Structure 1
Amino acid sequence: MKFSENWLRQHVPTTASRDELAATLTAIGLEVEEVTPLGDCLDGVVVAQILSAGKHPEADRLQVCQVDTGSGTVQIVCGAPNARAGLKAPLAMVGATLPGGMAIKAAKLRGMESAGMLCSAKELGVDADASGLMELPADAQVGQPLAAALGLPDASIEIKLTPNRADCFGVRGIAFDVAAASNAEVAAMDVAPVPATSDARLAIELDAGNDAPRYCGRVVEGVDAAAPTPLWMAERLRRSGVRPVSLLVDITQYVMLELGQPMHAFDRDLLKGPVGVRKARAGETLTLLDGRKVTVDDGFLVITDADRAVALAGVMGGLDTRVTDATRNVFLESAHFAPAAIIGRGRKLGLHTDAGHRFERGVDPELPRTAIEYATRLLLDIAGGTPGPVVEATVAGALSQPTAIGLRRARLARVLGLEVSDGEVERILRALGLVVEAVDDGWQVTPPSRRFDIAIEEDLIEEVARIHGYDAVPTTLPAGAARLVVPTEGMIDEATVRRQLATRDYLEAINYAFVEADLLKRWGRDGGAVALANPLSAELAVMRTALLPGLVDALGRNAARQQPRVRLFELGHVFRQAGTGEAPVQTQRLAAVACGDAVAEQWGRQAAPVGFHDLKGDLESLAAASGAELEFRPSDAPWGHPGRSADVYRIDGESAGHIGWIGQLHPRLQRALELDVDVVAFEVDLRPLQRRAVPVAGRVSRYPSVRRDLAFVVAQDVQWAQLEGGIRQAAGPSLRDLVLFDLYQGKGVETGFKSLAMGLILQEESRTLTDRDVDDVVARVVEALSRDHGAQIRG
């Protein structure tokens, strides 16, 4: 937001210097980005009028002008293309020094005397225009100091606004903040209603629901649109970064800059009526003021004339109904549009307009009628005309009304860490335009309609803090006793998990929690994926449902860059939609991937590719840290290699809970992912691996253990996990440990069968086991395996 310093001071009289004013603006959150002084060195520059202009006898591009200075006539040699008789322009008299440092002296130019210099706006430092002499209005007083004629000195101040301070997109809104910070009062502004003197009007129809809840319009007939924009208005527009165009356009721009309410002027004679607001129709086209023909969809709002789209609501007017110097009857519009209906619409068409910038952030819904009345008064004072009545249409119940917010005295002191007197709190809030009512424990505060960023108590505390001054808030350390949390013995921490995997030669990876939807689909893990409403890119469009897709992708990037042995792990969250309308479920997982050799290249061990059992050993070593007992069962997961992958279960007493998957990736998936190496991986829920039983001290048995080795012949498809469960159940409490020490297939064993050799370690705590006790246990095991799995003792 850029504005004139003098314009702001008109609304809030203050004795603060320019530097102090800039510092105050920054201190209260309206960060000043640039201050451009204007007209600080214009002593000796006056308003002059060219009486005659003749060609220089020795130079084709120069003219010899006789110039009235108000105190006499001087001769000036001038090369400006617009120098002509009757023109009023700035004249730097002999002895003046211009802002750029140029000292004006009497001189001869190609033999002709020149007593001063006629100046452009750039030479005077009041504008960037250097195309010719600065043309002053015909009613400018000859001989008057230019600074007085232009309202100088002044400064153009540009501030950076945060999105919540849309009220400061008008000079009037900034004035309230400055008044509160400088202990001043905002000057009263007379926007009295202009009475209608004709019945000229246009009907208004609203058909956009809550997107366009208010629309005001007024017909003014018989205006002189060709009248020049007053110098004071044109200068304020220039100093606010707006180039004056024509009177009607300049008035709407001026009202927008002063009040913050965008407006538009239509040529009434080009409208058929009624004027309305509705959703655009898909494929609808219109030509904008800049000459571009655009095609819109039903996400846009359009202003219509007898259902013909004539403007993009909140963005830009249309070319077909624009005002020109030939306009005699004008229709002024001022509306309120919901920010959600305007956000992004201009960018979609490659447009960035002042109106769109304001409507996207929100405009005071009570401003449209005020703006219409103010613009009407300016128009009548400058260009004459006959106004009709203001026609207003509103959507019932769509305009929210400010509500009172409680501000507790104790809460204010606690948050700020200092006591602010009641009088100061009330002064600050009232200076900002808020209605304050004292109550027992603090205040009831009602914000004005322009301050829709104030909705809760913390917003009021922020207002008090920034106006009272952040530098007044003491710097103190937090007080109070810190609550120490004692780590539980029933869980191992994440740091231990990380260290354990690092000791197994893995490197930790951190991937985005967002992934490409197609990547999850290739893995067959897209079920329940949570789509992002506003993704950073198409490659990061959904929340991950598993860690492995992203981790394998990282492995692939490393392998593609000549890394033959890659071992990565990741500890992070995955997300899944639980059901329609329900919040996503977040689960912490642990995953690891590996490819290449099982161990790093060395002379003492022959190289061998990493396989299922290598990774299984890594997972079991991690489980051993918490004492978790794992079970592995054949898996039919679509991303796993058949016969080389398993589902992972944690055994808890008599039950087993599924916690994850381990195995080699399916060759089809590896081809789809363009992986040239075999990848083994696991992914498990972290929580079950962290949980451990609290250690309990117990006596070591004084009695010896007994070991019996058995070899069984079983069918090839019988898994060891099945046999292990049956053995432990049949053996009973005497079984201390069970060890599988041999797997044999070959001579002596029938095809389709295998021999498994195992050791049963038996021990009692209260007595020594006898041979009969051991024989009974062995007999029960043999019977159970024979009955349940067809196992036979190998002869």
Structure 2
Amino acid sequence: MRAPLSWLREYVELPAEVTGRALAAKLIDAGLEVETVEQAGADITGPLVVGEVLTIEELTGFKKPIRYCTVNVGRANGTGEPQEIVCGATNFAVGDHVVVILPGGVLPGGFQIGARKTYGRMSAGMICSVTELGIGDDHSGILVLPPGTVPGDDAIELLGLRDDVLDIAVTPDRGYALSIRGIAREAATAYGVPFTDPAAVELPAGEGESYPAAIADPTACDRFVLREVRGFDPAARTPLRMQVRLFRAGMRPVSLAVDVTNYVMLELGQPLHAFDRAKLTGPIIVRRAAAGEKLETLDHVKRTLDAEDILITDDSGPISLAGTMGGLATEIDEKSADMVIEAAHFDEVGVARMVRRHKLHSEASYRFERGVDRELPLHASYRAARLLAELGGAEIVPGVTQAEAPVAARTVTMAAGHPGKVAGVAYDRATVVKRLEQVGCTVEGEDTLTVTPPSWRPDLGDPNDLAEEVIRLEGYENIPSRAPRPAAGRGLTPRQRLHRRVGRALAGAGYVEVLNYPFTAEKDADALLLPEGDARRRALRLANPMSEDEPLLRTTLLPGLLKSLARNVGRGFGDVALFETGLVFRPREGAPSRAPRLSVEHGPSAEDIASVDAALPDQPRRVGVVLAGEFEPSGWWGKGRPATWADAVEAARVVAREAGVELRVEADRHEPWHPGRCAALYAGDVLLGHAGELHPRTIKAYGLPPRTCAMELELDRLAGPGTVVAPPVSTYPVATQDVALVVDGAVPAARVETALRDGAGELLESVRLFDVYTGEQVGEGRKSLAYTLRFRAPDRTLTAEEAGAARDAAVAVATERTGAALRGA
């Protein structure tokens, strides 16, 4: 909404020194979004005066019409002699009054005027058009002033060329601010000065009926008003000041009849429409459209109507899309003398849906969508009729037609202290009542207030809306800034603490965290070599995906991690170790494909919530890592070490240690890992995930370096003890025993380690595999596993016999379970 300051001053007694920028600051403090303040005409410098054309001489010999004029500008030129001006426009005649800028003046855009010889004659000044003056976009010729202006008078003041124009971005809940009336009321409140309501038009007493009308659908319209004027002069011109105001407010002047309806809409906020009385047939009815009906609107588009469209009709059918745009068949034209003026209150939702359905937005629909004052139609229609009578010589036909559907009064009950509780600032009752009355509310009651919002504020529907009005008018800047105080005893849950510990541990182990979008493509399942029927292939499809290439919710973290790895490698970072924690989405067997749409007429029941929950997928939290290149970098210290499947398994152990869980590792085959370099990760008998080297075909599909490794496990299954008890630390020395066992090549090292732990007993502190050997010395198909066993007692120093006995017991169990034999025995 563009609001000229001069227009606002007509209805609010602002101090003379108030500028547009000062008013904008006040309105912003009150919660309105003033985007810019344009100082229109500020770059115009005089002398810019009224001139009377005395003579016109047509110059010949040029490709376009050129006229040599003498113009009376009074004493403005210092001599009183006629001013000689060469002009190329032809739409003015001798005796016309025009706007003249004399040498030394400057027009908008920095266009300086001087005296110079042109077309063989001396030209001292310029006769101006509305475009050159910056008050319109009419390129048809010179601005001809109405009779009665005096040559030599200041044209800047006459036309109101200098003005501050506030451009306000009106939020959907403040439809009243789409009018000079609404902004002026806010300005009056901000400065504490009197406000004159432009809608306070005294209506004629004892009005009868005017043009017949009725409302067929009360859900579409609850008030419909018609007035008639006759004998309007179609040739009557819109006053220049009205044209300037319309242009400053962002609307193009068209004709007096159209300009009056637009002027009243901008002033009061009530959209109006004028029908040519001679083109109407029968009573006007407001109703919904019938299927298949058509209407050609003023933009010359033939529209097929929808059954939900709100129409204004007569006996011929639809004549207007209500609150949006009129029909071509009943438009007023250059011959229209008798008119029917329509003002109404249409359903906001119905208009909003209609304009989106037809992609037809207008200034009228913009206001109806945000809420128009239901009490305005009677006053706005009479003001428009009176302007047409005063400016266009029309006769107002006595009577008014008012069709109306009953609407219940709105009241809101609120505790007097509620605004203070919302803001955290103490407002006494008198302050609350004062501020509510300033926005037009009627307030009754003491501790509990019964508030009746004004008709122009349909957005005030509950106590929080009223609290907002009190708070904004008291000043947001007066609300102290205090850091919120968290409630005692609250903090992170054990699960949240585990997630953070896992992130810190992986970062400490050399991994870099990434955050990927939880979306994947259908081709990712093929790139991961997932077999048909794999649960990871069953993914939820988004109704409105961010990208058509990735319309599915992820069922595994690997696609996003592998694409991030490929992106880093492609940019020259070959040694990469990444990790991510996040949710995956696993649809449940038998779950509905779509969540039910619940009614908004009441709160959801327990059954409603259960039906929504049943449609939601399981959303376990997982952690994944990918690594390629050197895990230990090369340097002056020597050659680095490439990342291997063992590093991926160790990343899983890092995660498990943070949960206080002992991880069991077993060989497995699971896509997309290499069938010979894949490990299954267990906590007890619970499968957590997998780790190892990726399959070469997966590596090729994502463009990854050879031997890329990955790990993924489910954090939600990693349930450690609720309270971790620190183990006792013995002060006695450790006894170390090494043992080398020869086993079949197919026996996992983890199985041998488990047997050693079980056999060694309570004295065993740790066991570590430090060498794996295969070769002729152990035989074909066999391997040697060398372990270091550390023994320690909590209460004594172990003897060599005790340590040796514990080692022998461990070997005996390993031999029994795995068929191991001591190497060299």
Q: 2:444 aligns with which of 431, 437, 443?
A: 437
- 8 Å Cα contact 1:491/1:691 also seen in 2: no
Name the aligned partner's letter for residue 519 of structure 2. V
- 8 Å Cα contact 1:532/1:542 also seen in 2: no
Residue 614 (1) aligns with residue 614 (2): no
- 8 Å Cα contact 2:355/2:361 also seen in 1: no
Query: Taking every aligned residue pair, what percent have the same amino acid on both sides?
Result: 31
Q: 1:34 aligns with which of 26, 37, 42?
A: 37
Measure the CA separation in 1 of the matches of 2:711 and 2:55.
93
Pair 1:201–1:668, CA change in 2 (3 A): farther
Question: What are the within-5 Å matches in structure 2 for residues 346-425 of structure 1?
Answer: 353-359=362-368, 361-364=370-373, 371-372=380-381, 374-379=383-388, 382=392, 383-384=394-395, 386=397, 390=401, 392=403, 402-404=410-412, 406=414, 408-409=416-417, 412=420, 415=423, 417=425, 422-425=429-432
- 8 Å Cα contact 2:585/2:619 also seen in 1: yes
- 8 Å Cα contact 2:50/2:151 also seen in 1: yes
Residue 447 (1) aligns with residue 453 (2): yes
Residue 158 (1) aligns with residue 167 (2): yes
Pair 1:774–1:73, CA change in 2 (3 A): closer
Question: What are the within-5 Å matches in structure 2 for residues 140-539 of structure 1?
Answer: 150=159, 154-188=163-197, 189-191=199-201, 200-201=211-212, 205-206=216-217, 212=220, 214=222, 216=224, 218=226, 220=228, 222=230, 224=232, 226-231=234-239, 232-267=241-276, 289-291=298-300, 316-319=325-328, 321-327=330-336, 328-330=338-340, 332=342, 334-338=344-348, 342=352, 353-359=362-368, 361-364=370-373, 371-372=380-381, 374-379=383-388, 382=392, 383-384=394-395, 386=397, 390=401, 392=403, 402-404=410-412, 406=414, 408-409=416-417, 412=420, 415=423, 417=425, 422-440=429-447, 443-454=449-460, 457-471=463-477, 473=478, 497-511=502-516, 513-516=517-520, 518=522, 525=536, 527=538, 529=540, 531=542, 538=548
Shift of 1:2: 0.9
Q: 2:712 aligns with which of 667, 683, 692?
A: 683
Measure the CA separation in 2 of the matches of 1:162 and 1:733.
73
Measure the CA separation in 1 of the matches of 2:586 and 2:222.
42
Hey, what does 2:26 align to over in structure 1? 24
TM-score under structure 2 length normalisation: 0.73
Shift of 1:781: 6.4
Hey, what does 1:694 align to over in structure 2? 724
- 8 Å Cα contact 1:91/1:118 also seen in 2: yes
Hey, what does 2:533 align to over in structure 1? none
Measure the CA separation in 1 of the matches of 2:451 and 2:547.
43
Q: Deviation per CA, 1:333-386, whole angstroms, max 9, x where unpaired? A: 64534359637966995x764345445555456655655555455445544464
- 8 Å Cα contact 2:423/2:479 also seen in 1: no
Measure the CA separation in 2 of the matches of 1:105 and 1:603.
80
Pair 1:526–1:409, CA change in 2 (3 A): farther
- 8 Å Cα contact 1:218/1:387 also seen in 2: no
SS at match of 1:439: coil
Shift of 1:79: 1.6
- 8 Å Cα contact 2:694/2:708 also seen in 1: yes
Hey, what does 2:629 align to over in structure 1? 596
Pair 1:532–1:184, CA change in 2 (3 A): farther
Q: Deviation per CA, 1:22-57, whole angstroms, max 9, x where unpaired? A: 442343333251232459989987766657645369
Measure the CA separation in 1 of the matches of 2:312 and 2:137.
35
Superposition RMSD in Å: 5.6
Shift of 1:161: 3.6
- 8 Å Cα contact 1:303/1:313 also seen in 2: yes
Q: 1:556 aligns with which of 566, 572, 579?
A: 566
Name the aligned partner's letter for residue 271 of structure 2. P
Measure the CA separation in 2 of the matches of 1:213 and 1:247.
28
The total of aligned residue pairs comes to 772
TM-score under structure 1 length normalisation: 0.76
Pair 1:296–1:130, CA change in 2 (3 A): same
Pair 1:482–1:276, CA change in 2 (3 A): closer
Q: Deviation per CA, 1:280-337, whole angstroms, max 9, x where unpaired? A: 989x987654456778999987777789776666655554554322344546364534
- 8 Å Cα contact 1:76/1:118 also seen in 2: no
Q: Deviation per CA, 1:653-684, whole angstroms, max 9, x where unpaired? A: xxx54444433445554455454645322233
Pair 1:41–1:770, CA change in 2 (3 A): closer
Measure the CA separation in 1 of the matches of 2:87 and 2:184.
43
**Which consecutive residues of structure 1, in runs of 5 or more, have no partner in the other structure?**
none
SS at match of 1:448: coil
Hey, what does 1:662 align to over in structure 2? 691
- 8 Å Cα contact 2:742/2:778 also seen in 1: no
**Which consecutive residues of structure 2, in runs of 5 or more, have no partner in the other structure?**
531-535, 596-611
Pair 1:262–1:698, CA change in 2 (3 A): same
Measure the CA separation in 2 of the matches of 1:256 and 1:241.
13
- 8 Å Cα contact 1:454/1:460 also seen in 2: yes
Pair 1:307–1:227, CA change in 2 (3 A): closer
Shift of 1:178: 0.9
Name the aligned partner's letter for residue 561 of structure 1. R
SS at match of 1:326: coil
Measure the CA separation in 2 of the matches of 1:415 and 1:436.
20
Pair 1:16–1:421, CA change in 2 (3 A): farther
Shift of 1:552: 1.7
Shift of 1:233: 3.2
Pair 1:98–1:562, CA change in 2 (3 A): closer
Name the aligned partner's letter for residue 437 of structure 2. R
Shift of 1:412: 1.8
Q: Deviation per CA, 1:118-177, whole angstroms, max 9, x where unpaired? A: 543356565565753222346778898756754676443323444543321111111221
SS at match of 1:11: coil
Shift of 1:67: 6.2
Measure the CA separation in 2 of the matches of 1:750 and 1:341.
88
